[in-house]
């Protein structure tokens, strides 16, 4: 099983996902909800971060489904991620984020965190997609996009850690 992907391989999987019929996407979404009910609950709880910014909520849902699709296509069916595992990983992530500092130091530390992750391939793909250099972010958009990226990082990390636990068992 391949655990890292090239940008081209990720792009190919994303292209296939984007070409799927709406009915197929709906079926994938239902399977995702059945397989990962606790992760879905965690994601839905994170909606409050975005308040009334529906575009960010839709982007989070889309990316969570896409991440599930990528992991399933490359590593096979993923184990159900349990609530205690999510809570433990959430606590770890909050601790890491608190240690990153503020402002530019935070940005550099965050990018370093992404680069050093075993699944940097996926994380940096999503980072590049969200933080397209052609976009001129205002302060609020930058804050919300950063929050979205942190949630994407969390989802990828949780999938990676859960897959590793299953492979080690």
Q: What is the pTM of this model?
A: 0.91
Pick from 1, 43, 56: which is nearest to 156 by CA? 43
Q: What is the pLDDT of residue 65?
A: 97
d(CA 38, CA 64): 13
**Tokens read off for 112:** 């370093």
Phi-psi region of 145 (alpha: psi -120 to 50; beta: other; left: phi over 0): alpha
DSSP state of 52: T
d(CA 117, CA 43): 21
Question: What 3-state class would DSSP assign to 37?
Answer: helix
Q: What is the pLDDT of residue 168?
A: 54
Cβ contact 48:100 at 8 Å: no
Range list of H helices, 117-138: 120-130
Cβ contact 158:85 at 8 Å: yes
Q: What is the pLDDT of residue 14?
A: 96
Q: What is the pLDDT of residue 66?
A: 97
Cβ contact 158:39 at 8 Å: yes
DSSP state of 50: G
**Tokens read off for 56:** 């960010």
Q: What is the pLDDT of residue 169?
A: 46
pLDDT per residue as tens, the chain (169 positions): 456 788 899 999 999 999 999 999 999 999 999 999 999 999 999 999 998 889 999 999 999 999 999 999 998 889 999 999 999 999 999 998 888 876 567 778 888 999 999 999 999 999 999 987 777 788 888 889 999 999 999 999 999 999 887 655 4
Domain ranges (residues) in the chain: 7-168
């Amino acid at each position: 099983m391949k655990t890292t992907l090239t940008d081209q391989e990720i792009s190919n999987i994303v292209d296939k996902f984007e070409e799927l019929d709406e009915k197929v996407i709906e079926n994938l979404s239902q399977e995702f909800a059945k397989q990962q009910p606790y992760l879905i609950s965690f994601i839905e709880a994170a909606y409050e971060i975005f308040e009334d910014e529906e575009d960010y909520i839709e982007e989070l849902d889309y990316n969570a489904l896409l991440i599930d699709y990528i992991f399933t296509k490359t590593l096979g069916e993923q184990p159900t991620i349990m609530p205690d595992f999510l809570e433990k990983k959430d606590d770890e992530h909050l601790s890491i984020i608190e240690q990153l500092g503020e402002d530019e130091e935070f940005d550099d530390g965050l990018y370093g965190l992404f680069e050093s992750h075993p699944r940097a391939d996926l994380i940096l793909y999503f980072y590049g997609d969200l933080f397209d250099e052609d976009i001129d972010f205002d302060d609020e958009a930058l804050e919300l996009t950063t929050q979205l990226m942190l949630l994407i990082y969390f989802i990828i990390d949780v999938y990676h850690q859960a897959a590793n636990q299953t492979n080690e068992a």
